[in-house]
Structure 1
Amino acid sequence: MTALRASRRRIEHWDPEDEEFWERTGKHVARRNLVLSVLSEHIGFSIWSMWSVLVLFMSPAIGLGFAPSEKFLLVVTPTLVGALLRLPYSYAVTRFGGRNWTVFSSVLLFVPALPALYFVQRPGTPLWVFLLIAATAGVGGGNFASSTTNIAHFFPRRHQGWALGLNAGGGNLGVAVVQLVGLLVIATAGDTHPAYVIAAYLPLIALAAVLAALGMDNVDTGPASTGALREAVGNPHTWWISLLYLGTFGSFIGYGFAFGLVLQNQFGATPLEAAGLTFLGPLLGSLSRPLGGRLADRWGGARVTLVNFLAMGVGTLGLLVASAQRSQSLFVAVFTVLFVLSGLGNGSTYKLIPVVFAGQAEAAVTAGHDATEAFARARRLTGAVIGIAGAVGALGGVVVNLAFRASYGSRGTGEPAFWFFLAFYAVCVAVTLLVYLRAPHGAPADDVRRARPAGHGAAESSEVTRA
């Protein structure tokens, strides 16, 4: 308690696994940082996905008559840059502190917002200018990795599924909210004023930076180490989980960025119709992410993830049926369900990360290693894998949009892309079943129980994690 009072901006000796410390002090500090982290990440997501809305405005009426393939390229560009930034953003939290980096990354959102505000209503602006501006919007996607890594340090493992789900879900809501802002602008001012969408976010960026500076804390997690990242790269679980997250978050962000353009190309929707239909899926998908974390806390991340991918496969078959019948209402309904499922899968898949490395730490303790050192290593690896999986998952958004671009460019329909997505979900089902629901030595997964080292509050789990 003394350390918290003495140095608000740098907290030392943080141990949320100590239940007495958590109840007395830790949970209040953690929740305050969570709320402010969600605000910053939410605005970052809005800026990141801003181009999925701006392309709906681009037409000959404002002197920006780009082809559909060029619009898909504008949507892909920030997705790719955001994915590549997630690893350095995740590392930056441990290097500079959660509070410090949140302030800096919030201010950095002005870089994509201000040029977009200037150029988006200048007729005749060439595509390459917009591609450069869209690339800078990738900084908003990096905010997810730094925010999630930071929040993982604040909460004990028994609450991480819910906390990480709430943090990510609140951030993911930025995709839906910016689309609602776009809908509001189109409905009130028409589809020739895209600058209004950007202008709405300028004061919010400033607000997020100021509140983070005033209310967040840096937590001493030990010196930043590239060793944890190297060790994570060499751990096979890093890549299995990244593959699963590619299927869940890649679907969410890819569908969220592309849905408006898909409706325009698949059914000839107007900008107003597209904007009016696109926000609901990302909204529900964002809200379902904390539920996915909560279900994973209760039933295990592997079980929830398996059922989720099976359901996503069924949903993709529904899209093929809707496409064949040319039914826009069925298409939108099924896509909305897929958004919800992708949100649930995001929460359950991320829950696997702390569970896997906590299981390895418990195995090390059972083998006679120091508990404090083992669990400190687990937390560092958790942060590193969060960054890697987040980057790989965001690359899934690039794959989704490139698949749509190729599909509509060559066939004029999204059906080839949907078959590709269905095949990938089948791979994810196989990985979840074989890697995370198959107990070692042939024992049933429900019979596997881990030891609970004293003082670490390890949550019992029926999932299998192998060192």
Structure 2
Amino acid sequence: MTATGTAPAPSGGGGRWIQDWDPEDETFWRTTGERIARRNLLFSVLSEHIGFSIWTLWSVLVLFMGPEYGLTPADKFLLTSMVTLVGAVVRVPYTFAVAIFGGRNWTIVSAGLLLLPTVAAFVVMEPGTSFTTFLWVGLLAGIGGGNFASSMTNINAFFPLRQKGWALGLNAGGGNVGVPVIQLIALAIIGAGGGPRVLLGVYIPLIVVAAVLAAVFMDNLATVKNDTGAARDAARDGHTWIMSFLYIGTFGSFIGYSFAFGQVLTTQFGRTPLQAAWLTFIGPLLGSLVRPLGGRLADRYGGARITLWTYVAMAAATAVLIVAGLRESLALFVVVFVVLFSLTGLGNGSTYKMIPGIFQAKALAAGLTGEEAARYGRRLSGASMGLIGAVGALGGVGINLAFRQSFLSFGSGTGAFVAFLAFYAVCFAVTWAVYLRRPAALAATEAATETKRQLSYAEV
């Protein structure tokens, strides 16, 4: 049985380090590993949760910004687009920071960095501040999006392949809940007649608490080495970019709609900020809560299958949204938008489960077995997650820019939804063609010989 323990930090590190880690060893996992992994998962979720709240902070702050702030709807969509863009870009270095500094150490740093955008927003949030200033301060909030990438890379290393769908789904879902939570807090503050600085004052001490708890309860894994070769290999692998494209459709939709939902309600349907706030949190909340379910379903039935049918449902929901917009039916629009949010959560869970499964399948196809295959899968899946997460988050930029252009051109979001419907159709086709289509000749050969040449991608 592999043993674990706290030992002096490797060269270049610091803090608490676990030198040996083998979650695929069932005896080790049952007696030692599971308890440690779950503890790290808990505090990883907390830090990522607050990171998501700060990343989506400006989706809430724009609801406070009435006519006295002098911003047009187009200005607000541009502001939230740029915040989303920064959150996407910083995911790449955040992914590799785990290998350089250690998962625990980087969680402390990344949590502490959230004070920068929060304190800066507290200072400038008042009428008379220029749009340029709001834009620069908003860009700082983008660093909250990076917490997801480092957190997922770290937790991916703690859990065995058979539980990655559940663990990654729970980690990401708990983080995603930061979106509706900050919207709920904003709702309470708006309802009580408070201003945006009250909201910011709530989060500043929470950030400090998250950093302290990470320092006390989390661990670094010495087995997660700084491997620039893994990053290069992941970037060269076609599956990294295919999964990035599919993640644009699921997570890009989730984060993009999270930023845009309130603005669509106020601009297209004439809701007040308070009325919009009563509705905007529901979709992100359900989308966050069902993400672990998407991972669990992917563990059982295969991520590719769950992803495929999720895209079918997302396309159907988007078609109904187009009808609701044309008929100006607020009730139908809100209900179906909430359903669409839930579907993005399912897809987020299933697509992220596919990533380690794909590289494990490639390892088996190359003739690797046992721990060697598991090590290959962990190495490339961990490196690819940052790239996939970054590209996927760019979908949120596209969604906000599409809404901005749609409102400028047509006065409603209908044009944007037509574009989204077409994109989901393409995502469906790519999922089927790459991960589920199996040539008839190959299927007949395998059936005749009763052999299984490699792990099917349908099972990842």
Q: Settle same-fold status: TM greater than 0.5.
A: yes
Q: How far does the alpha carbon of each residue in 1:337-358 deviate from its partner, in whole angstroms, 9 at most, with x for none?
A: 0000000000001111000001
With the length of structure 1 as denominator, give the TM-score of the two structures: 0.93
Please give the alpha-carbon distance, in whole angstroms, between the structure 1 residues aligned to 2:224 and 2:289: 33
Kept in 2, the 8 Å contact 1:449–1:461? The answer is: no
Please give the alpha-carbon distance, in whole angstroms, between the structure 1 residues aligned to 2:371 and 2:345: 34
Q: CA deviation at 1:374?
A: 3.8
Please give the alpha-carbon distance, in whole angstroms, between the structure 1 residues aligned to 2:160 and 2:90: 27
Kept in 1, the 8 Å contact 2:69–2:128? The answer is: yes
Show the counterpart of 1:401. 400
- Residue 139, structure 1, aligned to residue 149, structure 2: no
Q: CA deviation at 1:100?
A: 0.3
Please give the alpha-carbon distance, in whole angstroms, between the structure 1 residues aligned to 2:206 and 2:452: 45
Show the counterpart of 1:116. 121
The 3 A distance-change label for structure 1 pair 173 and 148 is same
Where 1:343 maps in the other structure, the secondary structure is helix
With the length of structure 2 as denominator, give the TM-score of the two structures: 0.94
Q: Pick which of 394-403 and 430-439 moved more.
A: 430-439
Given the alignment, which residue of 47, 70, 82 partners 2:75? 70
Q: How far does the alpha carbon of each residue in 1:24-72 deviate from its partner, in whole angstroms, 9 at most, with x for none?
A: 0000000000000000000000000000000001113xx3121100011
Q: CA deviation at 1:306?
A: 0.5
Q: CA deviation at 1:312?
A: 0.3
- Residue 424, structure 1, aligned to residue 423, structure 2: yes
What 5-or-longer segments of structure 1 have no aligned partner? Answer: 453-459
Q: Pick which of 193-202 and 36-45 moved more.
A: 193-202
Q: CA deviation at 1:265?
A: 1.1
Q: How far does the alpha carbon of each residue in 1:116-155 deviate from its partner, in whole angstroms, 9 at most, with x for none?
A: 011102x211011111111010110000000000000000
- Residue 156, structure 1, aligned to residue 156, structure 2: no
The 3 A distance-change label for structure 1 pair 200 and 27 is same
Please give the alpha-carbon distance, in whole angstroms, between the structure 2 residues aligned to 1:210 and 1:222: 23
- Residue 433, structure 1, aligned to residue 432, structure 2: yes
Kept in 1, the 8 Å contact 2:361–2:457? The answer is: no
What 5-or-longer segments of structure 2 have no aligned partner? Answer: 9-14
What RMSD in Å do the two structures reach over aligned CA positions? Answer: 1.9
The 3 A distance-change label for structure 1 pair 2 and 226 is closer
Kept in 1, the 8 Å contact 2:169–2:294? The answer is: yes
- Residue 180, structure 1, aligned to residue 184, structure 2: yes
Show the counterpart of 1:17. 24
Amino acid across the alignment from 2:261: F
Given the alignment, which residue of 35, 39, 43 partners 2:50? 43
Q: CA deviation at 1:442?
A: 4.2
The 3 A distance-change label for structure 1 pair 2 and 347 is closer
Where 2:4 maps in the other structure, the secondary structure is helix
Please give the alpha-carbon distance, in whole angstroms, between the structure 2 residues aligned to 1:444 and 1:353: 24
The 3 A distance-change label for structure 1 pair 444 and 324 is farther
Given the alignment, which residue of 48, 51, 54 partners 2:61? 54
Kept in 2, the 8 Å contact 1:449–1:462? The answer is: no
Where 1:223 maps in the other structure, the secondary structure is coil
Amino acid across the alignment from 2:427: C
Show the counterpart of 1:457. none
After superposition, residues 119-268 of structure 1 pair within 5 angstroms as: 119-121=124-126, 123-190=127-194, 193-268=195-270
Show the counterpart of 1:410. 409
Show the counterpart of 1:318. 320
Please give the alpha-carbon distance, in whole angstroms, between the structure 1 residues aligned to 2:168 and 2:274: 34
Where 2:69 maps in the other structure, the secondary structure is coil
